[in-house]
Every structure is written in structure tokens, then in C-alpha cells.
Amino acid sequence: MAAATGDGADTINSEQFVPASKPAPGSSLYVSQHDDKNERSEDDKDDDEAPEDAGNGTAVKKRKKKKKPKKKKTSVNETAKQSSPPRIPVASLFSPGQYPVGEEVEYRDENAFRTTNEEKRHLDRMNNDFLEEYRHGAEVHRQVRQWAQKNIKPGQSLTEIAEGIEDGVRALTGHQGLEEGDNLKGGMGFPTGLSLNHCAAHFTPNAGNKTILQKEDVVKVDFGVHINGRIVDSAFTMAFDPVYDNLLAAAKDATNAGVREAGIDVRMSDIGAAIQEAMESYEVELGGQSLPVKCIRNLNGHDIIQYSIHGMKSVPIVKGGDQTKMEEGETFAIETFGSTGRGYVRDDMETSHYAKKADAPNVPLRVSSARMLLSSISKNFGTLPFCRRYLDRLGHEKYLLGLNNLVSSGIVEAYPPLCDVKGSHTAQFEHTILLRPTVKEVISRGDDY
């Protein structure tokens, strides 16, 4: 989910990171590279040096022990494979506590001590439940999006695409969200955004929308998954004409630059500068014109807190003067947007995305439909983002008057689509990162992006 803010000015060099020695998780059935990290096999014990005879100093030949077959360890239930479309809960594909680990990146320079520091390692172990919830949600996101990438094609309606993704997320988390409170346990953490072309973010079809995906479209697919309010927010862009390859490459490269730069004690301004440098090194050839790819300067990444996709911090995607630092234990969505247009977005089109404010005021509501709707939103979504289709799915009818009253009363925030100039094209990529005490974990990393 994009955060819209203003511009900034200066840059400062920041902390650098190097990748961990082991690779990032590959497929959706990746097994944690750390499962056997501290084990010592029976074979290793057999290779120990034989002791010397105390009397004559000669080596005594050690009798060979019969080698015991090493038990095969796996976190994957090998008898179950994911279906297409995805409908098997991820919890039934993995043993308890064995969800795939994201890409781990070691800290360096003044934070290099964190990797081996016993106090930090203890703090990391204390976060086990937090990590398992995040890794569970991340695996759901990977499996659903990889299915979507193979199946989204021109000729499909945006409603069909969105519902296909959302049906997959609900099935894989094991929470359909139709019973009161069920969606608060797990499911959609952010409605499926399907923003086309000059629209950069926050568009999903409302009921009755008949938009069909065209071959010449550039579509941003942005959705969130949550387990117990731990939101994994990740996005990718698809295009079906190779003329847009450089635009997609620019956004992907810029997001990876932001992920590399991000870390404990790093200033936001430095992350923005790294993102802008990567993004604006690209050009796109369209209609015989060479167009520079620009960062959309008033869209940002953001921190994520439990049940709230937007915390209090923003991560700029252009250089500026924000001296705010990232801190240990925080979670961030690093997302970047590139555009062939002005590089600036405005509210446009019909609103579909909403969220109840965490600090919503306690004000009297004179519209009865608003009171009833607020009760339903609180019980089913809390402060998680939702869209109009989700209210339709719960059986609400003729709720727009009440919804608009909640927005005007400052209780619910509306997130209208954010668009650059018509005729331009935009691209987005996004990852969620955890700033653990010992390492940075790119929780949403997969073999696709």
C-alpha cells in the first residue's frame, strides 16, 4: 500500500549491507537453510582422530562403528502439493514451526556485531511467534502470487483477477472471513490492487466494474496477507508487451536498492537517494520517443504495525532531508513507483479502498446506517484495510451513505486511486522487511522477485 507525502532535499551516506552467505528462498516449498545448521552427524564422529597408545606411543587402530542412516529432515509435508488454483491451507503443507525463512541479510560496519552477539540472538529467539506468523503469511503470499503470475492474461476482467487472488489467500490462510471476527485471525491484509497504466495505486474494481485487461496494459498487482495482524505487503507489475520491460526493470531494481540500503540506524533520506539513483538510470522507448523513468515523488514506502498497514514512518523514494532512522524491531514495506509521466500523482476515479483509523474519534453518528456499518467494520476488519467488495461479500446493501458519513466524521480513512497524467505508464514493486536484532529478513522474497 502506497503512502502519499511531500518532497525533501539533502542526502547522507548510510549503512551498507552484504547478503548472507546462503541464498534466498527459492520455490514456495523452500526448506529453511538453518534446519541442520548446528547438527553434528554420526559420520563426523566416526572420523575423529584415533588416540595414541600411552605405552609405546603408537596409534591404536580404532574399531569402526556401524554407520547409522541419517534421518531425513524436512519441513515440507511431501505427501501434499499445492493445487491450482491454490486451495490447500499452507499450514497443512509444512510441519509446525517450519515455515520458510525469508532472505536473511547480515548487518555490517557498526552493526556487524549483531549477527553473533548473544544478547541479540536471545532477543531474536524471543520473537519466535512473531516470526512464525510473518513467515506463514509470506508463504501464502508467495504461493498465491506465483499462481497469479502464471494465470493473469489479457481478456480477463479485473474483478475475476481480484477475486481469484483473494479466494486463494482466504483458502491458504484457512480463514474465509465470513464469520464475525474470522478475518481478524488471518486473511486479506490489504485489498487486491489492480491499478492500470497511469494509475499507480489503490484501485480495485467495485461491484459492477466491467474493465477487461488489455494486451497493452501495465497492471500493478498489490495485495497484503496477514496472520494475527502481521501484514505481509508485497507487489509486482505485469506487462504483456516487451516495450515496457525497462519500466518494470526500473521499479524492480529501485525496490531492491531500497531493500539493500534499509537497516537499523539508516536514515530515510539515504534510502530515498539510493532508490532514486537506481530508478532514474532507466529510459523507456515508447512510440519512437525515449522517455526517462521518474520516481513518483509523492508516493512512499511505510512502516507496518500489527493490524495497521501504515504506521508513523514513511520511506521516501527520492532524495531528501528526512533524518528519521529505522530502528531495531521495526517492520517496513519498501515500495517504489516509476512513471513515464510527471512523476507525481493525484486522487482520481472512484474510491474503493478504506480503513478504520486506529485513533478514530468517538463522535455521535446521526445516520443509523453509519452506526450499523461501523459495528460491522470493527468486528470484521478492525483497522485492517478493506474495500467495497468485502462489504458486499458480508451481505451489506445500500451502505454508501453510511460509509461516506464515517469518512466525513473522521472515523474511516478513504484511499482513492492515485494517478499520474493520462497516457503515462507506471510500475511498482514492493517487499516487506523485518529488522530483526541479528539480521534483516526480506520476509516476502521469492524466486519470482
The three state secondary structure string of 316-366 is: CCCCCCCCCECCCCCEEEEEEEEECCCCCCEECCCCCEEEECCCCCCCCCC
Instruction: Clarify whether 222 is annotated catalytic.
Output: yes
- CA 89, CA 82: separation in Å to the nearest integer? 8
- Catalytic member of 139, 222, 253, 420: 222
- Catalytic member of 136, 141, 198, 302: 302
CB contact at 8 A, 372 and 319: no
For the chain, the residue count is 449
Instruction: Clarify whether 36 is annotated catalytic.
Output: no
DSSP-derived 3-state class of residue 306: coil
Q: How far is CA 51 from CA 58, 61, 67, in A?
A: 9, 8, 20
Instruction: Clarify whether 348 is annotated catalytic.
Output: no
- Catalytic member of 233, 261, 270, 303: 233
- Catalytic member of 166, 335, 420, 441: 335
Instruction: Clarify whether 447 is annotated catalytic.
Output: no
- Catalytic member of 310, 353, 396, 431: 310
Sign of torsion over alpha carbons 439, 444, 447, 449:
negative
- Catalytic member of 15, 217, 430, 441: 430
- CA 274, CA 279: separation in Å to the nearest integer? 9
Q: What is the DSSP string of 79-143?
A: T----SS--S-GGGTB-TT-PPP-EEEEE-GGGGGGGT-HHHHHHHHHTHHHHHHHHHHHHHHHH
* Residues with active-site annotation: 222, 233, 302, 310, 335, 430
